[in-house]
Structure 1
Amino acid sequence: MTLSVSVALCTYNGARYIGEQVRSICLQTLPPSEIVLSDDASTDGCVELAQEALETCQRERPGLSIRFRPIRNAKALRVTKNFEQAASACTADLIALSDQDDVWHPERLARMVAEFEARPDLLLLHTDARLVDGSLEPLGNTLFHALEVKPFERAWIHEGRAFDVFLRRNLVTGATTLFRRSLLVQALPFPKEWLHDEWLGIVAAAIGRVDVLEQELIDYRQHESNQIGARRDSFMGKVRKALASRGTTHQDRARKAELLLERLLSLGDQVAADTIRKLRDKLEHQRFRAALPASRLARCVPVLREAMTGRYEKFGRGARGVVRDLFESV
């Protein structure tokens, strides 16, 4: 029996593109059973436009049965909590996350659902995406290119080492993600300090199997209104980041690690002892970075000592993190 799919679609003043996205969902070779649309206090009629797009598809394709379940927020929840609300309301076996402005390739759900049917241990699956502009014109590269995904990172995920990858950095983009609804038992509630997709990805990797398909199964639109986009930094962009103010970045990352540790400890023997050990090591590294002195000169010795432990490589971008900690301003 084919696994059923709910689409958790979140909107915020998405009238410009929502019709195209809903239509691409309806035209899947394996359509979902429902679309749960959680709207974050929009004022542009995008919920009605989404429903109209679905009804148009149903008229064009007699027999197409997709339930439309809108949830309207009087006050905006913002991205993470809006997706939490949408996912929590889903009823199917699998949940596909959806932004309001992308376009799915017709075979997206069929290709991904087949992986779950063949692999009972698979909890979460994500994919690459083709980057396009506001008019759906290809930008000539992909999401994984923009994220500078390395061959070893892909290999580790395929080998069942996604948790090791995600301790370094998040590679799960919600718009490309499908996961078993059962994951919500451990993942809810989503901490507001985390983005919904990175939280789902790392919790899934801590308790089960995560994998990635390297095909581009959606057009991931890049435009001026993106809340979260994907743009590869230029060399000068990386230099500017290395010299930018530290702000609260490292304190925020330490707090996120603390929240993750609290959640995983609460899951008891669902989480391997080695996973907890790695996370504690990650937390120690983040606390070290958060406590570095304001003086660049005073950072030199402790940063170099920390580099000798290998933790910059285990829990970040290696030499790039060392350079940032040496040169970032206060």
Structure 2
Amino acid sequence: MTTPLISIALATHNAGSYLKEQMASLQAQTYPNIEIVVSDDASTDGTYEWLCEQALHDSRIRVLPQLVRAGFNRNFARCFQACEGYLISPCDQDDRWSVDKTTKLAAACPPGGIVYCDSRFIDEAGDPFVGRRSRMSSIKRMSDNPPLLALLQGNAISGHAMMFDRDLLDSLSDLPDIAFYDWWIALTASAQGRPLKFLDEPLVDYRRHRGAITSKSSKTTSKVAGLQRALQSSEILAALPGTLRVDVLRQYVGAVQTWFGSWVSPPAFLFFWRHRHSLFWFDAPRVAPGKRAVQFLFGYRLWHLLRPTRYPRVELGETAVPMARE
């Protein structure tokens, strides 16, 4: 019996020196039937040429023709569409995978859904972080089936740790520019009632380095932009076929719109209080959900009046800061 094909979707752009180590870890995967599909986003540092050379020596590597600069999301979307496996595993260019990552995720992936694992943090030299914040699970709450409202507010299902059933691609709308692809895939799967499985094991060395940080907005501005993205994403999701709990999504839209447009917003507070354990699920137990909900009693217009630098004027139809990620 033939082992089913699994696709590793590697998106690159000016990958630099880290790509060789990552590619070696992909080629060493113990799962016996993989393809490594590579979409390069107009690299100018020799990344594309190096990848083409590797493909000459390993038939599992398939490099897509290089096109004009598309950006982070569209590069991954293009890569996903070219994958031929029944399961797809997104891959960043600067990490390092455990050799049994594909095998373990494939065994745990629920039909029609997503599985994701924990990650270890490593520095630029590849050395692991030490201490209490050495894993992704030490800063983000992870479990099976996070609440839908929690996924609107945040995400712990990172693309580098994810594997999903190809069937999910058929139900996705075009990846919106307002959302990172991994967040949108997890959010859409949850909205459709698909299973989300957590494998409590670090199978990726997630490299943290200065070159990977492209957004330097303030913490407050990022929080505001996140709410705007969640608002727009809720509107898109509520209109998609197959979405469940449309009523809750519409209530969320109404609550956030009320908060942005009010001096004082009791309706927004009531919604956030009623759903506080779901909305702030990723924060628990670091921040009391009730304390977070109370912040929404005071509307954004009041915050803007009192602290205009930290709470700038915003338009609901636009994100407060541009999405940027490499």
- TM bucket (normalised to shorter chain) is 0.7 to 0.9
Q: Distance in 2 between matches of 1:21 and 1:84?
A: 20
Question: More helix by proportion, 1 or 2?
Answer: 1
Deviation track 1:148-174 (CA, whole Å, cap 9, x = no partner) reads: x1xxx52xx2xx455354234222100
**CA contact under 8 A between 1:131 and 1:142: conserved in structure 2?**
yes
Classify the secondary structure of the residue corresponding to 1:71: coil
Task: State the Cα distance separating 1:257 from its structure 2 match.
Answer: 1.4
The residue aligned with 1:200 is 185
CA RMSD between the two structures: 2.8
The residue aligned with 1:61 is none
Ranges in structure 1 where 5+ consecutive residues have no aligned partner:
59-64, 230-236, 294-298
Deviation track 1:79-136 (CA, whole Å, cap 9, x = no partner) reads: 11111111011111111100000010011001011123xx4x3511111100000111
Matched, 1:212 2:198: yes
Task: State the Cα distance separating 1:40 from its structure 2 match.
Answer: 1.2
Task: State the Cα distance separating 1:310 from its structure 2 match.
Answer: 2.0
The residue aligned with 1:4 is 5
Q: Distance in 2 between matches of 1:15 and 1:175?
A: 18
The 1:279/1:304 distance shift into structure 2, 3 A limit, reads closer
Matched, 1:173 2:152: no
Q: Distance in 1 between matches of 2:62 and 2:222?
A: 45
**CA contact under 8 A between 1:37 and 1:71: conserved in structure 2?**
no
The residue aligned with 1:62 is none
**CA contact under 8 A between 2:268 and 2:296: conserved in structure 1?**
no
Paired amino acid for 2:154: R
Q: Distance in 1 between matches of 2:31 and 2:94?
A: 21
Number of aligned positions between the proteins: 288
Q: Distance in 2 between matches of 1:227 and 1:31?
A: 35
Task: State the Cα distance separating 1:209 from its structure 2 match.
Answer: 1.0
Paired amino acid for 2:229: D
The residue aligned with 2:274 is 310
**CA contact under 8 A between 1:261 and 1:276: conserved in structure 2?**
yes
> Relative to structure 2, which stretch is displaced further, 133-142 or 28-37?
28-37
The 1:55/1:142 distance shift into structure 2, 3 A limit, reads farther
Paired amino acid for 1:94: L
Q: Distance in 2 between matches of 1:246 and 1:199?
A: 18
Paired amino acid for 1:85: R
Superposed, 1:100-139 pairs within 5 Å as 100-116=93-109, 119=110, 121-139=111-129
The 1:246/1:49 distance shift into structure 2, 3 A limit, reads closer
Residue from 275, 292, 311 that aligns with 1:320: 292
The 1:217/1:87 distance shift into structure 2, 3 A limit, reads same
Residue from 30, 51, 63 that aligns with 1:69: 63
Task: State the Cα distance separating 1:256 from its structure 2 match.
Answer: 1.8
Paired amino acid for 1:111: K
**CA contact under 8 A between 2:153 and 2:227: conserved in structure 1?**
no
Ranges in structure 2 where 5+ consecutive residues have no aligned partner:
284-288, 304-309, 313-326
**CA contact under 8 A between 2:10 and 2:93: conserved in structure 1?**
yes
The residue aligned with 1:329 is 311
The residue aligned with 1:234 is none
Classify the secondary structure of the residue corresponding to 2:212: coil
Deviation track 1:305-329 (CA, whole Å, cap 9, x = no partner) reads: 555x424443245323644875563
Classify the secondary structure of the residue corresponding to 1:285: helix
Paired amino acid for 2:63: R
The residue aligned with 2:219 is 241
Matched, 1:189 2:167: no
Task: State the Cα distance separating 1:32 from its structure 2 match.
Answer: 4.8
TM-score computed with the length of structure 1 as normaliser: 0.77
Q: Distance in 1 between matches of 2:47 and 2:107?
A: 32
